[in-house]
Amino acid sequence: MSMSTRTCWGLPTRMALWASVACPERGPCWKLSPLASGVAVVPSGGGVTPVTGFGGMGAAWVPVLSTMPAVATATAARTPRARPPPPAPRLRRRERRRRWARDWVGLLGMGSPPGLGLDARGRRSISSAPTFFSRASSAPFRDPHRGPSTFAVNSESLVPLHATFDRVLARLGSPFARLYADGFGDRLDERVGGVASFAGPVEGITVRWDAPVRRFGVRVDRGTFVSPSADQLPRESHRGLVERWVPSARAPLCLVLPATAEEGFGRRRVFARWLASRGIGAVLYEGPYYGARRPAGQRGALLRTVADQFAMNLATVVEVAGLLRGFHDAGHRVGVTGYSQGGMMAAFAAVACDFPVAVAPRGAALSAEPIFTDGALMNAMRWDVLAAEAGSFEAARARFAAALGEVRIDRFGPPAVPEAAVLVASEDDGFVPAEEAEALHRHWPGSELRWVPAGHFTGLVLHHHVHRAAVVDAMARLEDP
């Protein structure tokens, strides 16, 4: 079969292919060699020319002598034999392996937000497969905020493993890298009393903004404020820190709260940039005891005592509610969102406001008690230290549960506009029981609850489009002040 040096017609990849090209001066000096994308002409040197692979599926660049004639001959060493189709069990196993491969590729970054991963063709893009599922109905809900389809993740096949995956990740820390290494703390009763007495609302907070810069066409500036809970915080946490991404001066603003142990703004900047592309400004909030507000002597984001946990959570609610009040008084439509601990703090801050606030609690619960005393988070705590202080493991667990008795969102009424509340929960969450998300939804009549077939970690990674859509939809349900 003859072919030109610029086109190599479709030949089986498993055939041993050889060819020779007549050289006017030196005779045969070429051979054909199989490549991953087809068969290419491989000479000894010269210029370059593209050689098309099988059926136009790919192209390879190979050097050729510009003076050589465009004629080649290829001969197959053998003819492939027709193979019988594999049996049905083998086909099923093969399909399962492919499905699991697709799921884990998605978990490792395929279809991630811009800047975090690549699509199936190696291009940066927003992942698609715009569906998520409700427990009440198996019909898919199409997300209007997603781009063209590039990669779909079938996480339903992994549902039985999601909670196990959560527990395994929680166990990865060593005994010297867990929460509450210094026990309950001397001021725990005082902190619990402060949580029990908080009823809201709070006064507005004035933010001092630095000079703005432009990133990706979005105005970005940082601001600082004095915490209204400074008397309950260590000195390093007295000054609050926020970073604002706004597409326009009058754009609605959504506070984005950090998750457990999330320090800095790096991971949330991708989300802020995406919100800005939808016309929504994002205010990234740095929580007390985290990042630039971390007290001296604390290792990373690992709180040293249970009392610190209560102080951090109460200060977060007071600060966020004050920021929402300040932005609302300035004429902005405001909202708040967060994931895991950030989602629960967002819910508390929203109900502590006496004005309309859009809220999207994601991975949140009605009560904090089962999260700390029954969920996977128990594996990330120094129960040996707590038990030594309380006398036994059961005594430590009972004391912790009693302290968490007041950390319940149903101590407050629903938000001012419950229709502007969109909740996202995972069906197989190892940290937050599904019943807690349902209870929060029932406590807020008119709110919407969206389920994803995943766990606590995989729900955010594989279904980030559901979380993004929830924030946009919640903000859209508010009227301008």
Q: What is the pLDDT of residues 428-439, one digit of tens each?
A: 999 999 999 999
Whole-number pLDDT of residue 250: 92
Cis peptide before 201 (omega within 30 of 0): yes
- Residue of 54 and 161 predicted with greater confidence: 161
pLDDT value of position 173: 57
- Indicate whether 114 pLDDT > 80: no
Instruction: Please give the residue range of the domain that contains residue 42.
Output: 2-76
Residue 150 has pLDDT above 50, yes or no: no
pLDDT of residue 79: 59
How confident is the model at residue 393, as a pLDDT? 96
Confirm whether 269 is domain-assigned: yes
Q: Is 0.95 topped by the overall pTM?
A: no
**Amino acid identity for residue 303 in this structure:** L
State the average pLDDT over residues 33-49.
Answer: 40
Based on the structure, what is the number of domains in the chain? 2
Please check the confidence at residue 413 and state whether its pLDDT lies above 70. Answer: yes
Q: Check whether residue 66 and residue 163 sit in a common domain.
A: no
User: What pLDDT was estimated at residue 410?
Assistant: 96
Does 314 lie in the same domain as 457?
yes
Stretch among 44-48, 121-125, 341-345, 375-379 having the lowest mean pLDDT:
121-125
Per residue in 304-324, pLDDT tens? Answer: 999 999 999 999 999 999 999
Q: Kindly indicate the confidence band of residue 63, based on its pLDDT and cuts at 50, 70 and 90.
A: very low
Q: Tens digits of per-residue pLDDT, 366-402?
A: 999 999 999 889 989 999 999 999 999 999 999 999 9
Q: In this predicted structure, what is the pLDDT of residue 461? A: 87
More confident residue, 440 or 54: 440
CA distances from 285 to 264, 301, 456, 471 (A): 9, 15, 22, 16
- Domain end, chosen from 26, 51, 76, is at 76
Q: What is the pLDDT of residue 166?
A: 75
Dihedral sign for Cα atoms in the order 310, 173, 298, 255: negative
Q: Residue 67 domain-assigned?
A: yes
Residues 445-463 have a mean pLDDT of 93
Is the per-residue pLDDT at 55 higher than 70?
Answer: no
Last residue of a domain, one of 21, 47, 76: 76
Q: What confidence score (pLDDT) does residue 88 get?
A: 74
Average pLDDT for 122-136: 32
What distance in Å separates the CA atoms of residue 111 and residue 129, rounded to the nearest whole number?
10
Are 166 and 285 in the same domain? yes
* pLDDT (0 to 100) of residue 95: 75
Q: What is the CATH number of the domain that holds 230?
A: 3.40.50.1820
Same domain, 212 and 336: yes
